[in-house]
Amino acid sequence: MIEALYTAAPAWAIQHAAPLLVMVPLFLAPMLALVPSGRIAWLISIIGTTISFLFALILLYLVQTSPVGVVDYEIGRWPVPIGIEYRVDALNAMILLVVTSIGLLASVFSWPTVAAEIRKEKRPFFYSAFMVCFAGLNGVTITGDAFNLFVFLEISSISTYVLVSLGAGRDRRALPAAFNYLIMGTIGASFYIIGIGFLYAATGTLNMGDIASKLPELAGNRSVLAGFAFILVGLGLKAAMWPLHQWLPDAYSYSPSFVTMFLSATATKVALYALIRFLFTVFQPQFAFEQTAFGMLLMPLGIAAMVVCSFQAVFQTDVRRTLAYSSVAQVGYMILGVSLGTTAGLSAGLFHLLNHAMMKGALFMAVAGVVLSYQGTTIRDFAGLGRSAPWTMTAFAIAALSLIGVPLTAGFQSKLQLGFALFDQGLWWAVALVVFSSFLAVIYMGRILEAVFFKPPLNPRKARKEAPVILLVPLWILALANIYFGIAAKFPLDLARSAAAAAFGGEAFLK
Amino acid sequence: MTPDMMIAAVLILPLLIAAGIAATGWLPNLREGVTFVGAGLLFAIVIMLSLQVAAGGRPELYIGEAAPGLEFAFKLEPLGALFALVASGLWIVNSLYSVGYMRGNRERNQTRFYICFAFAILGAMGVAMSANLFTLFVFYEVLTLSTYPLVAHKGDAAAQRGGRIYLLTLLGTSIGLFLPAVMWTWVLAGHNLDFVQGGLLAHAHVSPAVASALLILFAFGIGKAALMPVHFWLPNAMVAPTPVSALLHAVAVVKAGVFTIMKVSIFIFGPDLLDATPGREFVMWVACFTMIVGSLIALTKDNLKARLAYSTIAQLSYIVAGAMLANSSGFLGGSLQIAAHAAGKMTLFMCAGAIYVATGATNISDMKGLGRKMPLVFIAFLIGSLSIIGIPPLAGAWPKYELMQGAIDRGNAYLPIVLIVSSLLNIAYLLPIPFLALMPPPGTKEPKPFKRPDGAPMPTVLAPLITALLCLILFFAVGPVSDFLAPSMGDRAAAVAAGGLP
């Protein structure tokens, strides 16, 4: 299928796929702000995300068929250490695929919920901000330049603050949540840029590959170590790494439903990608895991996230907050996989990243459907919805089972891979904790599912009210993907494995 | 049909049946027809497959990889064939019974009930035929999830509570202990989960401590085997309609559990490694403890289904104990118990259901003298009880014999004593029920009149009589059955089959 797309694409599209993937949505964004009608803005945003998605597929194909496994593009033909470079290998090709496909599904389903939650005159601006955010996330993923990464990180973050605050139309608590997120996010970005400053001071370059090639000579250099620490804290904050996740539950609970869905499946994933990129490509695993033993710090943080936040999820009364805490916990699984410093561990972490995007996307999409029909998002509001909205809730249940890690779902496959990776290192106690955290997931998702399918509805007169078809289609695509990739996990697992191999074989990234 | 097509048919047929039931849900007679035809076909195919297995064939089917190294693959060997035969054969009897029971009781949501039943059979077939631990685990969970709606079928508070305990215990043990055991096996065996004759881990240099820990993870992770203390889901599952208790909680689900333990013992550990594993003795103690304590609790229960549930818990431990003997007599005894207990306990459950449909009685104390009004049901109950106790000429006699033989072979002094005590306890909690019903002591007041004017529906009486007859047949068929099982069990079974009938 991808091959057919590749042969059909014109030569210029193949040659310039990398910049176009980011530029198309970025240039569509200001146009969207000028469009008078929200509905037209919606249609244009679908076009934008579709184009990016196609480019992501082309890039994936190019990476897979390329002999060195890398596609690089020099912006403005400035040679590398001076100019900005876009560089795609198996690792970020996979992340690009996640971001663009989720972005496409999100933009398709968005209209009914945006129409219900955002005031009429703000809708074009809303879509404009979404496009900026989408372009920013893709930019962070695709760039091979450390400073350019900061720029895109801020582009996506600032637009995210706007998107979150627009939830104020539905719930005023969105405003403090957005402000909180703004402060925390800016601190994170500042840490990151300070870290880049230290690295620049030591190496005199901003290109990631170039930095990486100069770092081995600077072993033991204090400013490199300080830069390392600053960068990882900054990116960890963006990735909602425990205990830097405090902004996330509020931001996810009060922002518009569509924003929650989009962010939960993409934003923290992209920040985590940047973290992985710095750990494995810029600093090299040898430095990160042997000299500084950073894995010893990362592993307890990942475990703490998956245990503590799962506990917090159990005690929430709001479905969106439950899912938000669960997101932090799931990031913990990924970090646990990364912290092993082995290819098996990294590929398990990346594999879970992919699967988590699918399941959380589906869960929040179903919640968006409920908000649309019934407003409330507390667990009590969900009572009896299994009868009044069976299609929405069945998809929700499938994704919930996947989150728990029931066999024949994607979540099971990723836990299996994580368990294999942990056992390989002899960390049986970590497996026990993963299992324990899954058990907490059984409890917190079980509470919701029980309310949905076995409790009588709060208001029995509520008529049968299914989410609109435009929402159900993407929702079911994600739900079925959860099952399909739970049975035949070869495609995503191969993606994750080659991504991990690319991260370790840093040579490919460095030429 | 080629063997792989037959295996595919065994897996697809339950799905087709489920679809057919869903499509004909508005015509109950047609819907039941679909179940019968489908169940008959399924049994026929399983028989054909078993004939091939008996002739030395090992039908295989490879579907594909879920992930590199994790294959969905099926391979039928004698033990699995026996389990598949038991589950699919008794499904026909049980369908006959369900029709009488569900209609006689005017249960709601019957279509959903039959659909979930078909999925449960799919799970059992998958477990029986799986060629590696990964496939087995997946179908094990299919069985758990598909039976949850059956347990919670009534939908009232008690059913919900029972269902929740059922799901949480079975999912909790399987994800919490069984899955880590699977992962650990994968790493120990060098990225492989296949069932290998002689044991996958036999040559893997596993230290005794690791092997013990792994064995204990398996023994308690496979919660369906109902070893104490993970047994409590089984009494709680008795809120389900009786056909579910009869087929699933006496045959398919619990037997899937002990079958898995047997399979792990024979094909993952292998007799030699298992013999050298210190943890084996611990699991054996737990099994003996479960036998005695389960029987003692059964004595205290007045609710008939609860008593039968605790009896099942005790009886399942025979199979676990047989596996832990780690010699061919033990394996053979445990495997025979899978079939013998299935026929016997299913008879008892179906009788309990027939009594409930006819009179609404669930307590044993209300059944005195009832045998005069429904003699056939209680005669079937008597035969089933005698088989469970292990009295010749009924099926239950052989497993006990083989288990004792196996225990003596390896110099285990306490297992024969525990088995004898357990048999005595069986007599104490089972036999009074049919005796008091058929021969009430003078002065017993007349039992309450039937709730339904014409008593138990015909199918609910016929079905237990069929399984009671099966108990009798299985006793005489032990030679061919041992012969059939011999390739998986080792030399001792071959000796039995060769005419060394004791």
Q: Which pLDDT band holds residue A509 (cuts at 50, 70, 90)?
A: very low
Per the structure block, which two tokens stand in for A66?
């390329």
Which member of B67, B142, B175 has the closest CB to residue A489? B67
- Is A167 a residue whose pLDDT tops 70? yes
Counting DSSP H helices and E strands in chain B, the numbers are 22, 2
Averaged pLDDT, A268-286: 86
State the average pLDDT over residues B286-290.
92
| Chain B residue with minimum CA distance to A485 | B66
Query: Residue B165: what pLDDT?
Result: 86
Tokens coding A495: 């993606």
What's the pLDDT tens digit per position in A71-128? 888 887 888 788 888 888 888 888 999 999 999 998 888 888 888 888 888 888 888 9
Q: By CA distance, what is B178's nearest residue in A? A: A435
User: Is the per-residue pLDDT at B296 higher than 70?
Assistant: yes
Measuring CA to CA, which residue among A449, A412, A100 is closest to residue A265? A100
How far is the C-alpha of A381 from the C-alpha of A129, rounded, in Å?
31
Structure confidence by residue, pLDDT tens digits, B472-481: 888 888 888 8
Dump the DSSP string for B417-483. Answer: HHHHHHHHHHHHHHTHHHHHHHSPPTTPPPPPPPSSTT-S-HHHHHHHHHHHHHHHHHHHTHHHHHH
Supply the pLDDT for residue A461.
56
Q: Could you tell me the pLDDT band of residue B286, with boundaries at 50, 70 and 90? A: very high
Q: How far apart are CA B319 and CA B27, in angstroms?
A: 42
Q: How many domains does chain B have?
A: 1
Question: Quick one: residue A71, left, alpha or beta (phi over 0 = left, psi -120 to 50 = alpha)?
Answer: beta
DSSP class of residue A37?
A: -
Residue of B72, B179, B193 for testing the chain A interface, max A β-carbons within 10 Å: B179
Tokens coding A130: 């979404």
Structure token pair of residue A377: 């998002």
Residue A227 and residue A255 in contact, taking contact as beta carbons nearer than 8 Å: no
Supply the pTM of this predicted model.
0.82
CA distance B32 to chain A (A): 26
pLDDT of residue A508: 41
Residue A492 to residue B443: CA distance in whole angstroms = 74
A456 sits in the region (left: phi over 0; alpha: psi -120 to 50; else beta) called beta
For chain A, counts of helices (H) and of strands (E): 24, 2
Residue A480 has φ and ψ, to the nearest 5°, of -70, -35
pLDDT in tens, B46-81: 999 898 888 888 888 888 877 777 888 898 888 899
Q: What are the C-alpha distances in Å from B449 to residues B303, B358, B442?
A: 19, 9, 19
Percent of chain B with pLDDT over 70: 97
Asked if residue A497 has pLDDT above 50, the reply is yes
**How do residues B2-43 score in pLDDT, each as one tens digit?**
888 888 888 899 999 888 888 887 888 888 888 889 899 999
In whole angstroms, give the CA distance from residue A454 to residue A73.
55
Q: Quick one: B486 exposed, middle or buried, by C-beta within 10 A (0-12, 13-18, 19+)?
A: buried
Residues 6+ apart with CB under 8 A from A123: A37, A38, A41, A42, A114, A115
Nearest-angstrom CA–CA distance, A280 and B278:
44
**Cα–Cα distance for residue pair A460/A425, rounded to 1 Å:** 54
SS (H, E, C) A313-339: HHCCCEHHHHHHHHHHHHHHHHHHHHH
Q: Using an 8 Å Cβ cutoff, are A85 and A75 in contact?
A: yes
Q: Does B159 touch chain A (CB under 8 A)?
A: no
Whether the ω angle into residue A243 lies within 30 degrees of 0, i.e. cis, is yes
**Among candidate residues A235, A28, A36, the one with its CA nearest the CA of residue A132:** A28
Mean pLDDT of B241-246: 83
Across chain B, what does the average pLDDT equal? 85
Q: Report if residue B356 sits inside a domain.
A: yes
Q: What is the rounded CA–CA span in Å between residue B133 and residue B222?
A: 12
Minimum mean pLDDT range among A72-86, B6-20, B348-362, B485-499: B485-499
- Tell me the C-alpha to C-alpha distance, in Å, between residue B278 and each of B34, B187, B269, B273: 50, 21, 13, 10
CA dist A502 and A186 (Å) reads 31
Scanning B96-125 for CB atoms below 8 A from A yields: none
Q: Does B190 touch chain A (CB under 8 A)?
A: no
Judging contacts by C-beta atoms under 8 Å, the chain A residues touching residue B187 are: 420, 423-424
Q: Cβ(B134)–Cβ(B65) under 8 Å?
A: no
Residue A460 banded pLDDT, cuts 50, 70, 90: low
Q: A487 vs B66: CB contact, 8 Å cut-off?
A: yes
Q: How far is CA A377 from CA A106, A171, A317, A383, A468, in A?
A: 20, 12, 9, 11, 18
ipTM of this complex > 0.90? no
Answer yes or no: is pLDDT of B238 > 50.
yes
Which pLDDT score, from 0 to 100, does residue A511 have?
36
Enumerate residues 6+ apart whose C-beta is below 8 A from B50. Answer: B76, B81, B82, B84, B85, B484
Is the pLDDT at B271 greater than 60, yes or no? yes
Given a cut of 80, whether residue B489 has pLDDT beyond it is: no
Which residues lie below 8 Å from residue A370, measured CB to CB, with a gap of 6+?
A319, A377, A381, A382, A385, A389, A392, A467
B197 touches chain A (CB under 8 A): no
For residue A397, the SS3 value is helix
Beta pairing partners, A175:
none
Distance from CA of A354 to the nearest CA of B (A): 15
DSSP state of A145: B
Task: Give me A58's structure tokens.
Answer: 């082309």
Q: Is residue B55 part of a domain?
A: no
Q: What chain A residue is nearest to B159 in terms of C-alpha separation? A: A454
Residue type, A156: S
CB contact under 8 A, A442 and B180: no
Among A343, A347, A403, A406, most B C-beta atoms within 10 A, so best to mutate, is: A406
Cβ of B175 within 8 Å of Cβ of A405? The answer is yes
Dihedral over Cα of B21, B26, B32, B34: its sign = negative
Residues of B in contact with A438 (CB under 8 A): 175-176
CB count, 10 Å around CB of B29? 8
Q: Does the pLDDT value for residue A510 go beyond 50?
A: no
**Interaxial angle between packed helices A247-254 and A319-339, expressed in degrees from 0 to 180 and rounded to the nearest 10:** 140
Closest CA to B416 of B251, B298, B284: B284
Q: What pLDDT is stored for residue A195 in this prediction?
A: 92
In 3-state terms chain A splits into helix, strand, coil percentages (rounded to 5) of: 80, 5, 15
Count the Cβ atoms, other than its own, within 10 Å of residue A25: 29
Question: Of the ranges A292-301, A306-315, B299-308, B485-494, which one carries the lowest mean pLDDT score?
Answer: B485-494
Cβ distance of A438 and B68 shorter than 8 Å: no
pLDDT of amino acid A459: 64
Q: Is residue A289 predicted with pLDDT exceeding 80?
A: no
Domain range summary for chain A, segments of one domain joined by +: 293-511
Q: Please, which pLDDT band fits residue B126 given cuts at 50, 70 and 90?
A: very high
DSSP string over A39-95: HHHHHHHHHHHHHHHHHHHHHHHHHHHSSSSEEEEEGGG--TTTS-EEEEEHHHHHH
How far apart are the C-alpha atoms of B417 and B421, rounded to whole Å? 6
Distance of alpha carbon A48 from alpha carbon A50, whole angstroms: 5
Closest residue, chain B, to A442 (C-alpha): B168
Give the mean pLDDT of A451-478.
76
As a dihedral over the C-alpha atoms of residue A120, residue A124, residue A129, residue A133, rounded to 10 degrees, the angle is 120
User: Which domain, by its residues, includes B465?
Assistant: 284-502
Minimal C-alpha gap between A460 and chain B (Å)? 18
Total Cβ atoms within 10 A of residue B144: 25
For position A488, what pLDDT does the model report? Answer: 82
Amino acid at A268: T
Residue A152: pLDDT band with limits 50, 70, 90:
very high
Say whether pLDDT at A462 is over 70: no
Option in A406, A413, A438 nearest B66 (CB): A413
Residue B119's DSSP bridge partners are none
d(CA A399, CA A478): 8
Q: What's the first-to-final CA gap in chain A, in angstroms?
A: 29
